C-alpha cells in the first residue's frame, strides 16, 4: 500500500500520479483523508481515557495498601464508567481504522515518473529490441505441433488427468524443461542470488503481503479446508520470507532466486492466445527477488533487466523490452519492464518475463524494514522478475530452432540436456 503520509500531505499529487494509470483516486483519497482524521481523533480520545484509567488504578492500589478501602470503593465506580467509555472508544477506533485500511488498500501504487500514459498493452513503450527476428516462413510449425511431432508434450493426457492448461511434459520435452530450470538457477546464483526453495502454498497474510489479496482474489487457486492459496508466482513466498522483519542496512541488498511451479486460474481466458503453452494453469518459473535501499532500487531494477537480457542472449532468442504504460501496470508496481521473445511460427511476441520495482508498496504491507545507520527504521524497496517463465521460452525455442530434421538445442543448454537435437 502507499504511504498514508503521502495522502495526508500531498493528496493532490497522489491523485495526479494515479491518473497515469487511468485511475480516478479523487473519491477514495478524499474519503481516506477524512477516515484518517477520524481515526487519529479516536486514537487520541481513547488514549486519554486509558491514561485516566491507569492513573485511577494507581491511586486505588495505593489506597488499598494504606488500608483505606472505603475511598478505594468510591474510585472503583469511576473506574467502571471509564472502562465503559474506553470500550466504546475502542470500538469506534477499530471501525475507523478498518475504514482507513479498506480505503488505502484500494489505491494502486504510484507509477514512476518514467511510466508512459496509456490504456493497454498497445501503448507500452518499446525500449529495446535485439536479435534477428526470423523471416516469415509459412511452413514453420507452431510449438504445439512440434511438441506432438517429437513427443515432447502430451496436452491431451494433461486434460484427462486434470483439465486444460495442465500439460504433461514427456521425454526430451521434460528433459529440456529441467535443463532450462537448472540453467536459469545456475545463472542467477552466479549473479549473486541465493537459491531458495519455497512452499507452494501460502497463507492469507503472505498473499496480502505481496499484493495478491485483496486485489487478485479469484485468480489464485484456494484450498478452503486449510485456508491456503496455491502460489501464482514464487514472488509471494520468497518476498514474504522477510515479512515482519527489520534488516540491518549491511544486509542489503537481499537477493533471492527460486524455482517453483506456479498456479493461475486465469478465469475467463480462451481463444488462440491460450493455445499450446501460451497460457497455462500450471507452469514452471525461476524468479529473482531483491530487497534494497530506496536509493538503490532503480539501479537494481536495471541490473535485473540486464540479467534477464543476458539469459535471452545466451539462449539466442530475439527479444525486446517494453516499459509498461500506466494502464497495463500491475496494481503493486511502480515501474515494470516486460521482456518478450519472438516466436517464429506464431509470428508474435510472447511475454516471458515481467520485472518490477514495487518501491515500498509491498514492504508497507508486510512491514519489511531496515535500520539506517542513523538508527531509523524505514521501509525497504522490493523488486522481482521472472528469470524466466518456462513455457513460452520452450515455445519460442522449439519454433525458432526447428529444422527439417528436428529442433536444435542452443549451445548453452547442451551440457544440461545431454543432447543437441530433438528428433
**Binding positions for RNA, rule: CB under 7 A:** 5, 40, 43-44, 46-48, 50-51, 53-58, 60-62, 64-65, 76, 79-80, 83, 87, 246, 369, 371, 377
Indicate the residue among 58 and 68 with the shorter CB distance to RNA. Answer: 58
Tell me how far CA of residue 423 lies from CA of 115, 167, 215, 317, in angstroms: 45, 20, 45, 20
Indicate the residue among 13 and 24 with the shorter CB distance to RNA. Answer: 13
Indicate the residue among 47 and 423 with the shorter CB distance to RNA. Answer: 47
Specify the residue for cell string 480505503: 103
383, 356 contact by CB (below 8 A): yes
Indicate the residue among 189 and 223 with the shorter CB distance to RNA. Answer: 223
256, 213 contact by CB (below 8 A): no
Output the nine-digit C-alpha cell for 121: 498493452
**Can you give the C-alpha Rg of the chain in angstroms?**
27
For residue 70, the minimal CB distance to RNA (Å) is: 14
For residue 160, the minimal CB distance to RNA (Å) is: 24
60, 72 contact by CB (below 8 A): yes
Q: How far is CA 78 from the centre of its chain?
A: 52
Indicate the residue among 57 and 241 with the shorter CB distance to RNA. Answer: 57
For residue 72, the minimal CB distance to RNA (Å) is: 7
Helices (H) and strands (E) in the chain, counts: 13, 18
Query: Helix H segments across 105-192?
Result: 143-149, 155-161, 171-190
For residue 377, the minimal CB distance to RNA (Å) is: 4
Indicate the residue among 5 and 139 with the shorter CB distance to RNA. Answer: 5
Q: Reduced to 3 states, what is the DSSP secondary structure of residue 130?
A: strand
Indicate the residue among 177 and 364 with the shorter CB distance to RNA. Answer: 364
196, 241 contact by CB (below 8 A): yes
Distance CA 382, CA 400 (A): 35
Indicate the residue among 69 and 163 with the shorter CB distance to RNA. Answer: 69
Indicate the residue among 72 and 152 with the shorter CB distance to RNA. Answer: 72
From 126, 184, 146, select the one nearest 343 (Cα to Cα): 146
Q: Which residues contact 310 (CB under 8 A, 6 or more apart)?
A: 187
For residue 173, the minimal CB distance to RNA (Å) is: 24
CB atoms within 10 A of CB 103: 22
Query: Helix H segments across 20-68?
Result: 26-65
Distance CA 182, CA 22 (A): 40
For residue 40, the minimal CB distance to RNA (Å) is: 4
Indicate the residue among 71 and 186 with the shorter CB distance to RNA. Answer: 71
Tell me how far CA of residue 324 lies from CA of 115, 353, 362, in angstroms: 7, 12, 19
For residue 26, the minimal CB distance to RNA (Å) is: 22
Tell me how far CA of residue 144 lies from CA of 154, 218, 262, 346, in angstroms: 9, 28, 21, 11
For residue 192, the minimal CB distance to RNA (Å) is: 25
Residue 282: what are its φ and ψ, rounded to 5°?
A: -130, 130
Output the nine-digit C-alpha cell for 108: 494502486
For residue 367, the minimal CB distance to RNA (Å) is: 7
For residue 249, the minimal CB distance to RNA (Å) is: 13
Amino acid at each position: 500500500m502507499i504511504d498514508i503520509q503521502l495522502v495526508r500531505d500531498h493528496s493532490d499529487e497522489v491523485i495526479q500520479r494515479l491518473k497515469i494509470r487511468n485511475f480516478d483516486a479523487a473519491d477514495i483519497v478524499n474519503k481516506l483523508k477524512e477516515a484518517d482524521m477520524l481515526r487519529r481523533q479516536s486514537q487520541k480520545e481513547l488514549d486519554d481515557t486509558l491514561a485516566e484509567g491507569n492513573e485511577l488504578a494507581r491511586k486505588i492500589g495505593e489506597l488499598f495498601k494504606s488500608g483505606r478501602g472505603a475511598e478505594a470503593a468510591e474510585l472503583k465506580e469511576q473506574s467502571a464508567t471509564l472502562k465503559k467509555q474506553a470500550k466504546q472508544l475502542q470500538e469506534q477506533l477499530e471501525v475507523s481504522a478498518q475504514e482507513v485500511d479498506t480505503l488505502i488498500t484500494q489505491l494502486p501504487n504510484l507509477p514512476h515518473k518514467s511510466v508512459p500514459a496509456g490504456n493497454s498493452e498497445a501503448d507500452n513503450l518499446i525500449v529495446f529490441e535485439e536479435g534477428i527476428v526470423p523471416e516469415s516462413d509459412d511452413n514453420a510449425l507452431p510449438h504445439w505441433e512440434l511438441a506432438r511431432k517429437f513427443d515432447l508434450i502430451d496436452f491431451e493426457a494433461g486434460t484427462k488427468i486434470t483439465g486444460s492448461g495442465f500439460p504433461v511434459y514427456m521425454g526430451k520435452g521434460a528433459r529440456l524443461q529441467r535443463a532450462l530450470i537448472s540453467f536459469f538457477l545456475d545463472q542467477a546464483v552466479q549473479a549473486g542470488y541465493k537459491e531458495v526453495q519455497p512452499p507452494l502454498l501460502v497463507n492469507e497474510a503472505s498473499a496480502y503481503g505481496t499484493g495478491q489479496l485483496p486485489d487478485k482474489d479469484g485468480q489464485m487457486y484456494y484450498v478452503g479446508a486449510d485456508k491456503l492459496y496455491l502460489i501464482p508466482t514464487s514472488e509471494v513466498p520468497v518476498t514474504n520470507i522477510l515479512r515482519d522483519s527489520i534488516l540491518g542496512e549491511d544486509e542489503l541488498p537481499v537477493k533471492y532466486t527460486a524455482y517453483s511451479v506456479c498456479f493461475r486460474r486465469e478465469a475467463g481466458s480462451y481463444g488462440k492466445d491460450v493455445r499450446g503453452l501460451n497460457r497455462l494453469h500450471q507452469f514452471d518459473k525461476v524468479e529473482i527477488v531483491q530487497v534494497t535501499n530506496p536509493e538503490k532500487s532503480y539501479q537494481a531494477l536495471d541490473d535485473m533487466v540486464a540479467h534477464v537480457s543476458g539469459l535471452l542472449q545466451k539462449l539466442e532468442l530475439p527479444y525486446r523490452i517494453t516499459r509498461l504504460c500506466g494502464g497495463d501496470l500491475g496494481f503493486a508496481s511502480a515501474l515494470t519492464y516486460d521482456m518478450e521473445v519472438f516466436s517464429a511460427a506464431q509470428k508474435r511476441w510472447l511475454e516471458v518475463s515481467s520485472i518490477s520495482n514495487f518501491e515500498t508498496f509491498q514492504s508497507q504491507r508486510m512491514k519489511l524494514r531496515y535500520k539506517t545507520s542513523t538508527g531509523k527504521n524505514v521501509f525497504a524497496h522490493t523488486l522481482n522478475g521472472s528469470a524466466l517463465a518456462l513455457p513460452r521460452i520452450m515455445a519460442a525455442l522449439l519454433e525458432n530452432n526447428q529444422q527439417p530434421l528436428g529442433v536444435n538445442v542452443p549451445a548453452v543448454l547442451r551440457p544440461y540436456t545431454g543432447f543437441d537435437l530433438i528428433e
